[in-house]
């Protein structure tokens, strides 16, 4: 496929070099209004003279001698980040696809071939979106915690905290709700499961951390498992919710959180009853030992 | 700055001088702020080698938990014998160790090992079982376990020093102190005729093998 930028023709490049080309192209885009004379430079040589088409002057040089980067050199990761962020705007229209990524690249002044940097099923776009939502949630929770620490806000009871955190996180899906079922199915592809699971578990861990969970025993796992269940089921309910303002979903969420609280209090009741029973049995055993004269000092 | 968090803040062990951005809560200097005990303040997550520190704290926590259960088992059998007070004193120190690691676990946001319920039972069984072999048996178990733990702590100290002794100063301090105390327990065990146990070397090898397996698993799972 040919990437053409204005009057220049570039030969087909592999994806690894594509970003370098795109950066070059975007830099030239920036330079165009200023350096029309250098533009002429590139016009005259015929298409066969590739080496002469390399940008000269103050362009960042990445001609393979690793480490020769100027200050405004953007890493590939940062570039991808920018493209994906820009692409999110086009998701409601195009879905989680390469088209959305291509549109996003266009708004940044890059060629539509930028979408070639990513996989065609849109996985990276979805993972990027999930990761961004998680970061936003983290910031939100951190801000709230600071307010509580400063005494400017009341510390919420756990069930309210969990409910609000999950609701805040799910509300971030609302602009993309039409296409979200598609995203969920892509996240369940075997290839994406490690990353999506990782993102899910770190988000749940974050919520519990800010909720003030300090468990260091098996409770650590039960709490996270329960919250993951609540989050996933609520997300699925949200997909099929057509009530105004998703009020059905929030009501469902409230009920699930209440269930979880009830379950945990039942569990602790069972445990204390069990302990009382054991104490009773031990007492009986000691009494019998005493009566039988077995309780001697060694 | 974290260090200015007010007079009620105790133990300089957890004061951080530089604020970093990370998921942990930042200590806020404020007169009216409800002060949290610094033992529960989170350590800024940026800049530390999370995988390594995670493993270290997870396995140490599991180890102290297991040691607690071992002494509990021994006390259940030998509690009213003449070595009862000795075992009780060692047990109390292990309880302190466990408390410290609980705090570290929350501060560094480390997950505990899934095998905790298993170590709960296995530790108690080992303690009670060795105590049923007699006082010398219990002491032999103590010697074996404490020797494993001391070696393990020494390895961790080496790892942390190789990483960055300055950055992990507090953690190193804690581990060094605990290593010294475990070594003391080891010596106490020897003083109480651990080596006179029948089949001492077999028992010791078996227990140490078990400890190595426990350490391997707890680091990962």
Do A223 and A234 touch, CB atoms closer than 8 A? no
Structural domain contains residue A230: yes
Model pTM score: 0.73
Q: Are residues A88 and A199 in the same domain?
A: no
User: Hey, what's the torsion of the CAs at A168, A172, A174, A179, to 10 degrees?
Assistant: -140
Q: Are residues A175 and A202 in the same domain?
A: yes
Q: Which two tokens stand for residue A150?
A: 């400063």
Separation of alpha carbons B45 and A87, rounded Å: 31
Residues 6 or more apart from B187 whose CB is under 8 A from it? Answer: none
Q: Are residues A128 and A245 in the same domain?
A: yes
Quick one: pLDDT band at residue A76, thresholds 50, 70, 90?
Answer: confident
Q: For chain B, how many structural domains are there in total?
A: 1
B81 touches chain A (CB under 8 A): yes
Residues 6 or more apart from B41 whose CB is under 8 A from it? Answer: B14, B24, B25, B27, B107
* A-proximal residues of B, 90-119, CB under 8 Å: 101-102, 105-106, 109, 111-112, 114, 116-117
Helix axes A180-187, A123-149, angle to 10 degrees: 100
Contact A220 B111 (CB under 8 A): yes
Structural domain contains residue B157: yes
Structural domain contains residue B31: no
Structural domain contains residue B132: yes
> Pick from A108, A61, A113: which is nearest to A86 by CA?
A108
Domain that includes residue A82, residue range: 76-120
Structural domain contains residue A255: no
pLDDT in tens, chain B (221 residues): 444 444 443 444 343 333 343 444 444 444 434 444 444 566 767 788 889 999 999 999 999 999 999 999 999 999 999 999 999 999 999 999 999 999 999 999 999 999 999 999 999 999 999 999 999 999 999 999 999 999 999 999 999 999 888 889 999 999 999 999 999 999 999 999 888 888 999 999 999 999 999 999 999 98
Tell me, what CATH number does B126's domain have? 1.20.1260
pLDDT digits (tens, 9 = 90+) for A159-187: 999 999 999 999 999 999 999 999 999 99
Domain that includes residue B162, residue range: 50-219
Q: For chain A, how many structural domains are there in total?
A: 2
Contact A149 B106 (CB under 8 A): no
Structural domain contains residue B155: yes
Structural domain contains residue B62: yes
Structural domain contains residue B10: no
* H-state helical runs in A89-122: 91-94, 98-107
Contact B105 A216 (CB under 8 A): yes
Separation of alpha carbons B185 and B208, rounded Å: 16
Within 13 Å and on the Cβ side, how many CA atoms surround A26? Answer: 21
């Amino acid at each position: 496929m040919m990437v053409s930028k204005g009057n220049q023709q570039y030969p087909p490049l592999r994806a690894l070099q594509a970003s370098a080309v795109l950066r070059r192209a975007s830099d030239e885009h920036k330079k165009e209004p200023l350096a029309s004379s250098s533009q002429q430079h590139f016009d005259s040589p015929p298409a066969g003279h590739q080496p002469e088409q390399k940008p000269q002057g103050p362009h960042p040089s990445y001609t393979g001698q690793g480490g020769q980067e100027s200050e405004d050199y953007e890493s590939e990761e940062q570039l991808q980040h920018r493209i994906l962020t820009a692409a999110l705007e086009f998701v409601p229209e195009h879905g989680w696809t390469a088209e959305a990524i291509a549109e996003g690249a266009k708004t940044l002044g890059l060629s539509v071939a930028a979408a070639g940097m990513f996989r065609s099923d849109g996985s990276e776009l979805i993972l990027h979106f999930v990761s961004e939502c998680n970061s936003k949630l983290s910031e939100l929770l951190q801000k709230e915690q600071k307010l509580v620490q400063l005494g400017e806000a009341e510390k919420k009871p756990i069930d309210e905290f969990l409910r609000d955190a999950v609701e805040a996180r799910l509300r971030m899906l609302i602009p993309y709700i039409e296409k979200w079922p598609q995203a969920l199915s892509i996240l369940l592809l075997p290839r994406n499961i490690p990353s999506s699971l990782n993102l899910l578990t770190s988000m749940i861990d974050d919520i519990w951390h800010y909720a003030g969970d300090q468990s260091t025993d098996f409770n650590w796992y039960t709490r996270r498992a329960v919250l993951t269940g609540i989050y996933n089921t609520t997300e699925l309910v949200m997909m099929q919710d057509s009530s105004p303002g998703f009020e059905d979903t929030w009501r469902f969420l409230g009920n699930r959180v209440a269930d979880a609280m009830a379950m945990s209090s039942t569990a602790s009741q069972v445990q204390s009853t069990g302990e009382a029973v054991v104490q009773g049995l031990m007492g009986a055993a000691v009494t019998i030992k005493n009566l039988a004269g077995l309780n001697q000092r060694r | 700055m974290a260090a200015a968090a007010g007079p009620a803040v105790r133990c300089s062990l957890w004061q951080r001088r530089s604020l970093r951005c990370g998921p942990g809560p930042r200590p806020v200097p404020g007169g009216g702020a409800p002060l949290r005990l610094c033992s529960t303040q989170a350590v800024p997550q940026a800049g530390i080698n999370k995988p390594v520190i995670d493993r270290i704290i997870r396995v140490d926590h599991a180890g102290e938990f297991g040691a607690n259960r071992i002494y509990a088992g021994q006390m259940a059998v030998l509690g009213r014998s003449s070595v009862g007070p000795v075992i009780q004193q060692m047990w109390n120190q292990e309880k302190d160790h466990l408390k410290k690691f609980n705090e570290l676990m929350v501060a560094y946001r480390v997950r505990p090992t899934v095998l905790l319920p298993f170590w709960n039972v296995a530790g108690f069984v080992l303690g009670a079982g060795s105590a049923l072999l007699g006082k010398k048996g219990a002491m032999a178990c103590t010697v074996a376990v404490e020797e494993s733990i001391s070696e393990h702590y020494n390895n961790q100290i080496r790892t942390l020093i190789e990483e960055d002794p300055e950055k992990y100063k507090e953690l190193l301090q804690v581990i060094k102190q605990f290593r010294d105390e475990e070594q003391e327990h080891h010596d106490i065990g020897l003083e109480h005729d651990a080596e006179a146990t029948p089949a001492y070397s077999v028992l010791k090898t078996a227990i140490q093998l078990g400890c190595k397996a426990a350490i391997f698993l707890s680091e990962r799972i």
